[in-house]
């Protein structure tokens, strides 16, 4: 028996009927970003493995477990990009964008790859739209970015969106805080769940998410990172919050918000759609003031986000579909002997930018009319052997004879 092929685990095909919602998401984001001065750029789908090891962070799940890494014929280690920020920052340095007026505002979109455990909303190849603002540490950048993501999701009418906002401070503040939190947890070990105790060293922040009664009581009194921010970071965060308030963006302060990438400093945020269940994160980002330096550049602040197109599409579908159907303007129905003429007519219409289609499967007239209905054609144009043409309004059923020579003119005016 011959083998039957399937799309690789964790990947999927995007079928024609699923295109319009994705196109709309990309289109709304593109329009909003470009209207705000963000320039599109594309980076390669694969990069030097070290870029991500250094950029995303050696200790992250992404680098430790999730990268699709391969060796090319020349023995170089390459990796399918798991995220965009490291690549965009590499490009910023490679093209000397420090010389441009700062901040440099860039956006991109395309496929990304992570070897994750596949489930609804979590794939090994997924699509993101990314925005980055590099070269300014002003809280205005953080606020502008959050506003752009917020307004994009609002225009798309993604239902039940929640924005979680936090600040991580500097890496030094964070490290000191985590030590303090570990000490606090150890001093309350008796009241914590076994699971939390087992993770005190690796991930003490997890304790904040626990359902365990005793753990929750302990965590009510635990110190939070937001309380430990130094003065400059606290002021920066206050400014971001003030700007969001002034622009009527609702957010929930989340002192335990951590993101899966090492490079974040100061502001972090995540957009969630509760309707999506376990994989509710539809976008997220934050500030990465140390990243460019880590990649060998001069100290350069930056801020960015990624929206998950697949999940936004899922959220919109759960909301009752995207409401956009590809429409054929005219379906040309041909009597036997008129089929060649049908292609002429369709070509003429298409060249005049009128979406047109014809039967390519030898259907009888009745079958062709059915097909016209199936493709959602607004009109059927019936070509009969006497060189006549009848235009039928598929909605009302109204028919009238028309002169084929004036076809384009007649249809353009509708």
> What is the binding site for ligand AMP (CB under 6 A)?
83, 114, 116, 121-123, 126, 128, 259-260, 281-284, 306, 308, 310-311
Nearer to ligand AMP by C-beta: 306 or 380?
306
Nearer to ligand AMP by C-beta: 81 or 241?
81
Nearer to ligand AMP by C-beta: 208 or 263?
263
Instruction: Give DSSP secondary structure letters for 298-353.
Output: -S--EEEEEEEHHHHHHHHHHTT--------SEEEEE-TT-HHHHHHHHHHHHHTT
Cα-flanking dihedrals φ and ψ of residue 149, to 5°? -65, -45
CA distance 56 to 262: 6
For residues 300, 145, 270, 267, the Cα torsion angle rounded to the nearest 10 degrees is 40
For the bound state, the minimum distance from the C-beta of residue 185 to ligand AMP, rounded and expressed in Å, comes to 26
Nearer to ligand AMP by C-beta: 129 or 226?
129
Q: How far is CA 403 from CA 351, 359, 391, 413, in A?
A: 19, 21, 10, 15
CA distance 339 to 359: 8
CA distance 165 to 168: 10
For the bound state, the minimum distance from the C-beta of residue 374 to ligand AMP, rounded and expressed in Å, comes to 32
Nearer to ligand AMP by C-beta: 267 or 371?
267
**Tokens at residue 148, please?**
């752009």
For the bound state, the minimum distance from the C-beta of residue 128 to ligand AMP, rounded and expressed in Å, comes to 5
Residue nearest to ligand AMP (CB): 308
For the bound state, the minimum distance from the C-beta of residue 300 to ligand AMP, rounded and expressed in Å, comes to 20
Give kind and range of the element (H or E) at residue 79.
strand 77-80
Nearer to ligand AMP by C-beta: 112 or 177?
112
For the bound state, the minimum distance from the C-beta of residue 333 to ligand AMP, rounded and expressed in Å, comes to 43
Give kind and range of the element (H or E) at residue 246.
helix 231-246
For the bound state, the minimum distance from the C-beta of residue 110 to ligand AMP, rounded and expressed in Å, comes to 12
Residue 74, classed as helix, strand or coil, is coil
The most distant pair of C-alpha atoms in the chain lies apart, rounded to whole Å, by 95
Nearer to ligand AMP by C-beta: 79 or 215?
79
For the bound state, the minimum distance from the C-beta of residue 211 to ligand AMP, rounded and expressed in Å, comes to 23
Q: If you search the block for the tokens 């019936």, which residue do you land on?
A: 382
């Amino acid at each position: 028996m011959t083998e039957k092929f399937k799309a690789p685990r964790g990947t999927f095909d995007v079928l024609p009927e699923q295109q319009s919602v994705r196109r709309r998401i990309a289109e709304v984001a593109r329009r909003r970003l470009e209207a705000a001065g963000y320039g599109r750029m594309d980076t390669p789908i694969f990069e030097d493995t070290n870029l991500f090891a250094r950029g995303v962070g050696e200790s992250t799940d992404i680098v430790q477990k999730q990268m699709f890494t391969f060796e090319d014929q020349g023995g170089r280690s390459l990796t399918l990009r798991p995220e965009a920020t490291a690549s965009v920052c590499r490009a910023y340095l490679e093209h000397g964008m420090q010389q441009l007026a700062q901040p440099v505002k860039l956006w991109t979109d395309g496929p990304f790859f992570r070897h994750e455990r596949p489930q609804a909303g979590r794939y090994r190849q997924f699509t993101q739209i990314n925005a980055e603002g590099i070269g300014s540490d002003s809280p205005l950048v953080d606020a502008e970015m959050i506003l752009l993501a917020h307004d994009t999701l609002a225009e798309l009418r993604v239902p039940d969106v929640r924005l979680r906002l936090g600040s991580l401070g500097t890496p030094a503040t964070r490290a000191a805080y985590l030590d303090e939190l570990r000490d606090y947890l150890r001093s309350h070990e008796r009241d914590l769940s076994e699971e939390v105790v087992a993770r005190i060293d690796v991930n003490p922040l997890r304790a904040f998410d626990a359902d365990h009664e005793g753990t929750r009581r302990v965590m009510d009194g635990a110190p939070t990172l937001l309380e430990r921010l130094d003065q400059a970071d606290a002021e920066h965060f206050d400014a971001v919050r003030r700007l969001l308030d002034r622009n009527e963006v609702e957010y929930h302060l989340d002192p335990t918000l951590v993101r899966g990438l090492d490079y974040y400093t100061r502001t972090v945020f995540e957009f969630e759609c509760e309707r999506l269940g376990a994989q509710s994160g539809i976008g997220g980002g934050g500030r990465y003031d140390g990243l460019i330096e880590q990649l060998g550049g001069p100290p350069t602040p930056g801020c960015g986000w990624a929206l998950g197109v697949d999940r936004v599409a899922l959220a919109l579908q759960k909301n009752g579909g995207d409401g956009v159907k590809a429409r054929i303007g005219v379906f040309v129905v041909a009597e036997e002997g008129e089929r060649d003429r049908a292609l002429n007519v369709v070509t003429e219409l298409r060249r005049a930018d009128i979406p047109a289609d014809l039967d390519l499967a030898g259907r009888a007239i009745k079958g062709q009319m059915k097909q016209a209905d199936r493709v959602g054609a607004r009109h059927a144009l019936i070509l009969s052997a006497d060189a006549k043409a009848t235009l039928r309004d598929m909605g009302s059923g109204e028919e009238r004879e028309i002169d084929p020579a004036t076809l384009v003119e007649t249809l353009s005016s509708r």
